Chain A
Amino acid sequence: MTASEVKIQVDKVYKIFGPRADGALIALSEGAGKAEVLQKTGCVVGLNNIDFSIRNGETFVIMGLSGSGKSTLIRHFNRLIEPTAGRILVDGRNIMEMDAKALLAFRRNGMSMVFQRFGLLPHQTVLENTICGPILQGVNRREAVERGMEQLELVGLKGFENRFPRQLSGGMQQRVGLARALATQADVLLMDEAFSALDPLIKSDMQEQLKDIQARLKKTIVFITHDLDEALHLGDRIAILKDGELRQVGTGEEILFRPADDYVERFVRKVDLSRALYAHEAVTKVPVLSRAEATPERFAVLLRDHPGVVVVDGEASHVLTRGRGGDAVPAASIDAGSAIGQCFPLLAAHDALIVTQGGAVAGILTREMAFKALARSARAA
């Protein structure tokens, strides 16, 4: 990765809680474990030599169980918590060297944050909450309201701007949290267990919405979660944190299929593969014909070598699979980026689905292909 691609660089960061941090740092450098440091110095090791980079425009998930230090770590990025040792560079600038004024400007313009329990001001309306970032930036009120309304519309809360947070459901409140974070127009979005407090259904709605927004806005998102399914679903790359130590950083596939150690392996064992595996990993390429080319003779020849044939007729697509006589039948299509699990309902109703990528036909997906891909992954994991 080149220097220009790196958005946030975390450089050997330590965080020690307790009065004798220096002693604890020395003990750590001499190879003492977390428990030993606590016993010797009375200090709790929050983060131990954390070192990684986050790329521009990626969704980077930091995942770990409670007490792993993930919430501590994310608060280092905007210096809500100061590290005991180490540097954090954002766009090449060491944020540890910022004075109070520079830090305020950085928090106002450089990063915004979404909180687990929303952190909305209960005495202000949804709109007031949404524009609190721009107002702190010094944007004039008219423009701030304009920006706020735009973001509220984006998250689907138009018409709710004069309500108070308590009048909204949890999911809606977190949408306000998201709109508030987006309204600052900062490049980096920090999300601290942003969806963990929500009901499962609302949670997956919010995940989809975040993906939509990310596809449009291309922010750098740092997402904290304790839910591996969520991590795999959202993250371009995932970092696994345990006891303040980084165990593995990699793509979802790497984490799933090449876990770095026992801990990560135990972690991924229970993962729902149907959500971690995508249609493009199970798709099979098949010939594509136009309506004019689609003759029974041609079908017979092609089906000898291929599991199916796709016929494109203007807007509509049809598919014919091996072992099924007659003409091609209309078929549903799905995006190559959909998880296999999402395709199950359609697969139940159709023999084969057409997988499209960027509007073009990439191939077909049958029940057999989906199950084979899942079986392959289950063995690998």
Chain B
Amino acid sequence: MADNFPELVDTRGLRFAIDDGFSWIVANYGDTFERLLMPLLKLLSGMETFLQWLPWYVTIAVIAALTWSAARSVKATAGAVVMLLLIGSLGLWNDAMATVALMLAATVVAVVIGIPLGILMARSDGLRALALPLLDIMQTLPIFVYLIPFVMLFGPGKIPAILATVFFAIPPVIRLTDLGIRQVDGEVVEAIVAFGATPGQKLVKVQIPLALPTIMAGINQTTMMALSMVVIASMIGAGGLGYQVLQGIQRLEVSRGLLSGIAIVFLAVIFDRIAQSYGRRAQKHLATGE
């Protein structure tokens, strides 16, 4: 190499400082964090156990009912049933249920945290200016980079997997909640304020209902991102379909990777249809018609 970039600063000191600082946090507060996040682990394990305990035909019936109530389409409902049957007959039922549990738990956490954050962002331009670049970073940072601190803090397992998934999947729901609320017709908001609504009533009676289609789109994206993250999270011990893919790579078994990959796609299609149809129904109800 002819010309290396000149070493202007010695980064070793900086890196040591970051690593040492983080190790200190892990050593002193690791247990505390772990205790704090026990409810999260319980939620995930509970969901996983429940989904795997539930007889498969009940699960299929529930998902079919959900698809029907959202899409009102025989085709979509039949499609969901067929795809679930295929997953089962490929011998991937339990892995699929573990994946669904992780995805749902991460989505629930992301939505519970993300919607209030989005609402706060919609209320304050300052917060928005601060949060937008942060969300950009979160969405562009390679996911492996923040697997590292989580694994260090909690060791490989389900907690770092769910936390990394939440981190990865939360930006869309925050962004679109903010966007949805900001897009609500100013005159409608003004009207309810003129009639004496408190800021809370304004939020609950007007802003959230009218932003709902956009918020639903955010939840949909978050769900899809959580599902895509599940494969990567399996590397740190999340289990599920992702683990099968990982094993396929490690053992160079194309079939194993392919079959579990197909199962992941099926799940993605099913949940995407459900979430999108709910979003569309919300939208239909809101069309103003000038």
Contact = CB atoms under 8 A, between A and B. Distances in A.
A111 B210 CA distance: 25
Contacts of A105: 196
B187 interface: yes
Bin the interface of chain B by size.
Answer: 20 to 34
Given A105-B196, A108-B196, A136-B197, A122 B191 contact: no
A166 B287 contact: yes
B289 interface: yes
A292 to B, nearest CB: 60
B285 A108 contact: no
Contacts of B195: 107-108, 112-113, 132-133, 136, 180, 184
B193 A132 contact: no
Bin the interface of chain A by size.
Answer: 20 to 34
B286 A107 contact: no
Interface stretch (B145-153, B198-206, B256-264): B198-206
A192 to B, nearest CB: 9
A116 B188 CA distance: 11
Contact of B188 (A78, A108, A119, A166): A119
B286 A119 contact: no
Given A115-B187, A116-B187, A136-B201, A123 B285 contact: yes
A202 interface: no
Contacts of B188: 119-122
Interface of B: 185, 187-188, 190-198, 201, 205-206, 209-210, 285-289
A151 to B, nearest CB: 14
A80 B287 contact: no
A112 B192 CA distance: 10
B196 A119 contact: no
Interface in A106-156: 106-109, 111-113, 115-123, 132-133, 136-137
A106 B196 CA distance: 8
A106 B190 CA distance: 15
A180 B195 CA distance: 9
A308 interface: no
**Residue from A104, A112, A118, A132 whose CB has the most chain B CB atoms within 10 Å:** A132
B192 A121 contact: yes
A115 B198 contact: no
A119 B210 contact: no
B290 to A, nearest CB: 8
Contacts of A115: 187, 190-191
A165 interface: yes
Contacts of B196: 104-109, 133, 136-137
B194 A117 contact: no
